[in-house]
Structure 1
Amino acid sequence: MTITTTSHRPFPLPKGPWIMAQTWNDVLFAHWPVEPAAIRGKIPADLELETLNGKAWIGILPFLLTDLRARFLPPIPVISRFPEVNIRTYVTYQGVPGVYFFSLDAGSRLAALSARHYFHLPYFHADIAFNKEDSRIRFFSRRSDAKAVFHTSYGPLSDPFSAQKGTLEYWLTERYRLYTAHNRRIYYEDIHHSQWTLQEAEAEFHQNTAAAASDLVLPHTAPLLHYAKKQHVLFWALQGV
């Protein structure tokens, strides 16, 4: 993958070479607005919870990860392909926007252990079934302790589009940095990809205790839903602030 355009990014590309690449397939963006006070205490104090129109947002994203590889190397055997579901919110640090993960459940035990160790991310191993028939995806994830279950079926509804800067869709999806904390220190990792090609989506949530496992309470309102068929992503090295 080569870097051909950066104008859609909210801040410039990081310096230095990227170190890892992967592809995200059949991504569902499910977003719920919440009161900032409901989650402010669940993120590190050094990070600023980002809001839009007075609301913070919790996102749940199931997808299939493929082609995981280090720079100059082919896809990594055993852990190059697995389904994943992550739960996140949106933060800034010194004015740079990004994502903060409450949890990431992966269908690969080795990938989950590696990400916890090398990237200080709250990964968990889960038994995940990912099935696609035509444009319909069925996704079932159960963490080994059974405390986090996420079962949904989803698919696209509209023609593809790219979100315009200044819109809610852009604010929620065009994120190019993740933040995490380890031993009372904040770390970040930059990523890059093409602008998301989104579609409006519909989804049924058959069971969802994944948010509650992170001590999060989702509102009873219907979430905002978007679908993306595929995204190739580059990652830079983890940095301490």
Structure 2
Amino acid sequence: MHDEFMQLDHRPFPLPSLPWLLSQVWEDLLFIHYPMDPNVLRNYVPLELELDVYQNRAWITIIPFRVTKMKGRGIPSLPLLNAYLEINVRTYVKYKDIPGIYFFSLDANHPLFVIGLKTAIGLPYKNANMEFMQMKNAFQFKSYRLSDKNTSEKINLTYQPGNVLFETLPGTLDHWLLERYCMYSFRGKYLIRGDIHHDQWKVSNATATTSINTMISFLSADNCPNTPSLLHYSKQRRVFCYPPKRVGERLK
């Protein structure tokens, strides 16, 4: 048994009954958190999903990171098919009281994964040119979306983790933002839930310098936040992904 399955009490709901399908390692994650007016964000989230809030505030999070050591269950990791860069933009939702994530976008620099994940579970993946570079104790991440001619979603930032590593505590904003173990998407008329598992987040606070960030340009200029209220950094997490399942249908 993998060590990650020795710790389950941090999960808000039980593991799925089916075995996991895919594993990957997430590395050098930066969580860029923005508080939002729930009334504004509600317009961008499907009505089938309840917008989740913390102390009457909704949140958007941008996450650049590296995916490595990806492999299917019982299959060895394959060169050229086991690593890519990703940046996603998400908010926080519930469906039938199960807390999860709704993605506004997911950009990646591996076309095969973009096509596969978009087809398999309806996630809004986009192709992007991306660069990642480590500079002593800091990291630089660049991304420029390729697939949408009428948009210019891009980011260029440098970030540095803090020195103090901590686990999130139940009831805190850190815990509410990070300890999420499923995502919701639509495939045709069906609402899909994809479950994941990893051990509890261990993070530090972080600092970042951003020269450009248009990843949430879908918001109007009046509602688009400029400065994040909170940053988290995590060095590494091994993640196990479960088969997606239908949990509902689109509202008529």
RMSD: 1.3
Amino acid at match of 2:88: N
> Is the deviation greater in 38-47 or in 170-179?
38-47
Alignment of structure 1 residues 37-186 onto 2, 5 Å: 37-144=39-146, 145=149, 147-186=152-191
The superposition leaves residues 180-206 of structure 1 with CA deviations (integer Å, 9 ceiling, x where unpaired) of 112232110110001011001000111
Does the 8 Å CA contact 2:132/2:139 hold for their aligned counterparts?
A: yes
CA distance in 2, matches of 1:76, 1:167: 39
**Partner of residue 198, structure 1:** 203
Does the 8 Å CA contact 1:32/1:218 hold for their aligned counterparts?
A: no
Q: TM-score, normalised by structure 1?
A: 0.96
| Partner secondary structure for residue 6 of structure 1 | coil
| Partner secondary structure for residue 6 of structure 2 | coil
Amino acid at match of 1:183: G
CA distance in 1, matches of 2:133, 2:81: 18
Deviation at 1:107, TM superposition (A): 1.1
Structure 2: gaps spanning 5 or more residues:
248-252
CA distance in 1, matches of 2:50, 2:98: 10
Determine whether 1:225 maps to 2:231: yes
Identity %: 37
CA distance in 2, matches of 1:106, 1:73: 23
Q: Which stretches of structure 1, 4 residues or more, deviate above 6 A after TM superposition? A: none
**Structure 1's 232 and 118: CA in aligned 2 closer, same or farther, altered over 3 A?**
same
Amino acid at match of 2:12: P
Does the 8 Å CA contact 2:32/2:228 hold for their aligned counterparts?
A: no
CA distance in 1, matches of 2:106, 2:73: 23
CA distance in 1, matches of 2:78, 2:123: 20
Deviation at 1:134, TM superposition (A): 2.4
The superposition leaves residues 168-222 of structure 1 with CA deviations (integer Å, 9 ceiling, x where unpaired) of 000000100000112232110110001011001000111011110x346432344
Q: How many residues are paired up?
A: 240
**Partner of residue 240, structure 2:** 234
